[in-house]
A and B are shown apart, each in its own frame.
Chain A
Amino acid sequence: MNGERKDRDLYTVLDEEGIAWLHFDKRDSGTNVLSAQVLEAFYEELLRLEQDPPRGLVILSDKPNGFIAGADVREFTRLETHDQALAAIESGQAVFDRLAALPFPTVALIHGFCLGGGLELALACRYRVARDDPATRLGLPEVRLGIHPGFGGSVRLTALIGPLAAMDLMLSGRSVDGRTARRLGLVDHVQPQRHLHTAARALVLDPPFRHRPGKLAALGNHRWARPLLARVLRRKVGRKARRDHYPAPWSLIDLWQQHADDERAMLHAEAGSVADLIMGPTAQNLIRVFLLQERLKSLGRTSDFRPARVHVVGAGVMGGDIAAWCALRGLRVTLSDQSPERIAPAIGRAATLFRRRLKRRRPIQEAMDRLIPDHRGLGVEHADVVIEAIFEDADAKRALYRELEPRMGREAVLATNTSSIPLQELRSALQDPARLVGLHFFNPVAKMQLVEVVRDRDTDATVVNRAIGFTRRIDRLPLPVTSTPGFLVNRILMPYLLEAVELESEGVPAVEIDRQALDFGMPMGPIELADRVGLDICLHVAGILGEHLGTEVPTRLRQLVESGRLGRKSGEGFYRYRRGQALKPAVPREHRDNPDVGDRMILRMLNEAVACLHQGVVEDGDLLDAGMVYGTGFAPFRGGPLHYIETSGADTLLQRLQQLEKRYGERFHPDVGWETIIGFGDQPPHNPESGA
């Protein structure tokens, strides 16, 4: 029987009590996903069970990592027409309808990931049991891919737990653990592993009434309540996502508002809505970005490096936060600096991070216990990875390496978090110069997923591999870049920031500049971003980059720093700050829109992206796009800067750039790399917008 199971994606075992146990175990995969093939096999299995009804059905997974992680996202990219998409969604709905209609009790036995289509399958069962542990996560993250649930999830979830809780889960895309799921009514039991099977059997043998939302929660689905509730939901969504950039959450609210009292109609509308969304540019680009993320994640797979101990030198904002992050991800961390007082604030920040992320007492304590303040720097000797995060001074760094290297293990990775000094300048201090690698984290460490893994010709390839493996171990996205000034992300971001400063000094209101960037889809305006980073730091980085790249540093930036206006941390930069919040004045009435404002910022950024690609700072355009999305939050729904160039027409953008060069001078001079891109442009580009 085992041999037979191996070449099937699922199988059913009937036990002596007449309960059918349907195991999902997708072939050649560590994770269960609902590919078209798996769905078909599941459908056939359901038909068989209908023919010969068991006493009840329990659906479970044989994969250690979880139940079912969702649909097969790669299949989304193969959809060519709206009709194809609609057909695929409707056939999925048909499978789950069949499951929902079975005349005997059905139970989903959930452990680990139960996401997207996986949760929709569970929702089509009469009951759900979840394992009580931190690894069990239930959620409908479809909005993150620019769509919403399509296999009946929006219909069944709103009916099961009421619209408010259901919409909160679907609109945010967040996942919850078993206990929260139980509280919401999403699962009937949350139990430790040892009682999971007993709980499922009990539900089959003595089936209770199925869960219904509370009277108050159910009221939200009433015809009269929906318009009101929809308005509240739209206001909430509006604060996070604009309809023109991210249509999916808005469509979901529309869908529910119009059809919530008619299950059939809502299922039909759900399918149509998802088909519309999935062929649109936003979903296509978000799916692209998701797949790019998968690619970055897979970079770490070639490494068998299993770091357990990290030593961080420098307990400033970056060093301290890197240390805290590593401890949060389960590594034992020693954090050193010149004195205990310098380390203490980092421990305080770490405690805040752990409380926010881990919530429960014991996990917080465990993380705190793993983060060891080490003012004597004794942790170096036991560390698998040593990260230097001291101030940007090449001499100081070299002196430190001279002291660290003899005390480090031979296999240990020595990484610098420098954001501006080339490795070439630093490694001269080392006995083994090839061992130095850059691990460039972004601020705030706990939010920014990207880590630039910086290497050059002289860096040992094994070391680079280990650095990538380490980055994955702490659940960050590694992006290999060359050790050129500014690496990738800061280099591309800097012209955009400097142009914003230039605009501001020309008299364009800061609010207006930021608004233009937000309109483009950046997560934060450049002026506010500069204030947050700190104007002194911007000036420093701009100076270093300027030296190498020949860009000019706006005098306005220098003036502000000299007058002590350093941004948010000093209470005033371009904006004034109260309790860390920017006080943004209204745009003066006499201000007139200038179409050049947005283009000047964005095109300088795009031009630099082209230059980076041309100079081989990263291996290919996809990696560059991934870097900008995960390192700066570059409008994800646009799929990355190079993808944006491709989809909006490289020719047009180049002409615009040349126009700007005539008007504003040499800093808009197109990089030679545009020629290559235009060359590519002759072939029909992959253009998702044409499919919409």
Chain B
Amino acid sequence: MAAQANPLATGRPVFVVDGSRTPFLRARGRPGPFAASDLALQAGRSLMLRQPFGPEDFDQVILGCVMAGPHEVNIARVVALRLGCGQRVPAFTVQRNCASGLQALDCAAQDIAAGRSELVLAGGTEAMSHAPVLFSEAMVKWLAGFSRARSAGARLRATAAFRPAFLKPVIGLLCGLTDPIVELNMGQTAEVLAHRFGIDRKTMDAFALRSHRRLAQAVDDGHLDEIEPLYDTRGHCYERDDGLREDSSADKLARLKPVFDKPFGKVTAGNSAQITDGAAWLILASAQAVEKYRLPVLGRIVDSQWAALDPAQMGLGPVHAMAPIMHRHQLASDDVDQWEINEAFAAQVLACLEAWKDSRYCREELGLESAFDPIEEERLNVDGGAVAIGHPVGASGARIVLHLLRTLERTDGRRGMASLCIGGGQGGAMLVERTGA
């Protein structure tokens, strides 16, 4: 296996001391009340209120974001300045599609392990409802030609070349969710997995329903106290993930039509992650920083792994990323107390669970001698996942690591694994551990 030189394994310990996130707000077909930087700012501002140090004490700020708006291309720097980190705290934005938030944590952890940073603010943000709507390339070319036309005749000719079809907008979000190499959109990759592992519609819908039920229960039980309310400029506040459908039922889910492979597919809006706006932050610290500011420790980032595979089967990414970590630490499925596997699609998580315990898959695709023991349902996404909460692509990685640590704290567990599949055919995983347990 590669990655023996991971500084997380050899370097200084990396602690997570605190974190918070915004409620995840479902995109409703028009730009939501918050831009991506607003989301990150508000989550960060509330988080900083309870810290014994100021935003200017960070060594750097790292933010994951897939589609930062044209006004905030290095969105991490914009948010750092808006947060009051001051001019001297460097900040950069990372992009690894659906795992951008996890990538931010990994970068921060590597830097701390390597001794380059003591205290880092890392997380992810995404305002998917603000994804740009673009001019088509034909339109852009026509505009360029028109603006070069000087004489009246040239202008007339340029005008005559115009075709109404040029006005057809390009929906940035759809482009982003389509793999340009295998020319499948993300939903179709889930269909591929459903077919390969024989996952039927009913099982997917049952999984989706469980996600909603678990989230509803978690809300009732107060398991989501990492959420900090958002406030808009019209005097409204948002305190909860609004993708939750408390009235969801197997019947209702069964009535939905497939959206990606019409009309025979099985992946519906109901058993897929929701298009959502949201942000999440974690504060990562070295032992030195923990001591200096007397910070409470939520847990330790023990290891991380990135893996790549066939883009058409990107949904299996978590299996490929988690396996090497299990191997390095000689862990059996049972040794991990809590799992968070991001629910891009119900079919995709179910496929991961199948592959995980499938000896042929493990042997042929992962080069392992045998399969893993199944991951227990009661230890996986215990408070619901992206099907109910939503999946603001840049933010989800940070959200699941944060929630994993909170869950371990609440259940007095020790080890936790967070993992996401990544559009384009990758997987990312992170192993955390509560030091006190």
Contacts and interface: CB of A to CB of B under 8 A. Distances in A.
Contacts of B50: 376, 378
A28 interface: no
B239 interface: yes
Nearest to B238: A340
B49 A341 contact: no
Contact of B237 (A334, A373, A374): A373
Interface in B213-236: 229, 231-236
B12 interface: no
Given A372-B45, A374-B49, A378-B50, A351 B233 contact: yes
B237 A340 contact: yes
Contacts of B41: 369
B197 to A, nearest CB: 43
A258 interface: no
A345 B237 CA distance: 9
A349 B235 contact: yes
Nearest to A344: B237
B414 interface: no
Contacts of B83: 369
Interface residues of B, number: 17
Interface string B202-217: 0000000000000000
A332 B84 CA distance: 10
Given A340-B237, A369-B82, A347 B49 contact: no
Nearest to A347: B231
Q: Which of B83, B232, B235, B236 has its CB near the most chain A CB atoms (within 10 A)? A: B235
A351 B237 contact: no
A343 interface: yes
A365 interface: yes
A375 B229 contact: yes
Nearest to B41: A369
B235 A344 contact: yes
A373 B82 contact: no
A375 B229 CA distance: 9
Contacts of B84: 332, 369
Contacts of B82: 365-366, 369
A62 B417 CA distance: 64
A603 interface: no
B49 A344 contact: no
Contacts of B239: 340
B91 to A, nearest CB: 16
Given A374-B49, A378-B50, A368 B233 contact: yes
Interface string B72-89: 000000000011100000
B233 A347 contact: yes
B233 A341 contact: no
A373 B229 contact: yes
Contact of B231 (A344, A366, A379): A344
Interface in B14-49: 41, 45-46, 49
Contacts of A375: 229
A345 B229 contact: no
B55 to A, nearest CB: 11
A348 interface: yes
B233 A334 contact: no
A303 B380 CA distance: 60
Contacts of B46: 372, 374
Contacts of B235: 344-349, 351
Interface string B168-201: 0000000000000000000000000000000000
Interface residues of A, number: 23
A366 B45 CA distance: 13
A572 to B, nearest CB: 25
A366 B38 CA distance: 11
Nearest to A341: B237
B49 A378 contact: yes
Q: Which of B41, B49, B84 has its CB near the most chain A CB atoms (within 10 A)? A: B49
B193 to A, nearest CB: 40
A487 B418 CA distance: 61
A379 B49 contact: yes
A394 B80 CA distance: 42
Interface string B231-275: 111111101000000000000000000000000000000000000
A305 B231 CA distance: 32
A334 B231 contact: no
A347 B33 CA distance: 14
Nearest to A342: B237
A368 B46 CA distance: 14
A93 B233 CA distance: 50
A343 B49 contact: no
Contacts of A351: 233-235
Contacts of A365: 82
Interface string A338-361: 001101111111010000000000
A372 B43 CA distance: 11
Interface string A367-397: 0110011111011000000000000000000
Contacts of B232: 347-348
Contacts of A345: 235
A368 B231 CA distance: 10
A348 B49 contact: no
Contacts of B45: 369, 372
A343 B46 CA distance: 14
Given A340-B229, A369-B41, A375-B229, A334 B49 contact: yes
B49 A340 contact: no
Given A334-B49, A369-B82, A348 B233 contact: yes
Interface string B53-84: 00000000000000000000000000000111
30 contacts: A332-B84, A340-B229, A340-B237, A344-B231, A344-B237, A345-B235, A346-B235, A347-B231, A347-B232, A347-B233, A347-B235, A347-B237, A348-B232, A348-B233, A349-B235, A351-B233, A351-B234, A365-B82, A366-B82, A368-B233, A369-B45, A369-B82, A369-B83, A372-B46, A372-B49, A373-B237, A375-B229, A376-B49, A378-B50, A379-B49
Given A347-B231, A347-B237, A348-B232, 15 more contacts: A340-B229, A340-B231, A340-B237, A343-B231, A344-B231, A347-B233, A347-B235, A348-B235, A369-B45, A369-B83, A369-B84, A373-B231, A373-B237, A376-B50, A379-B49
Report, nearest first, the 3 A-B pairs whose CB atoms are least far apart.
Answer: A348-B235, A351-B233, A344-B237
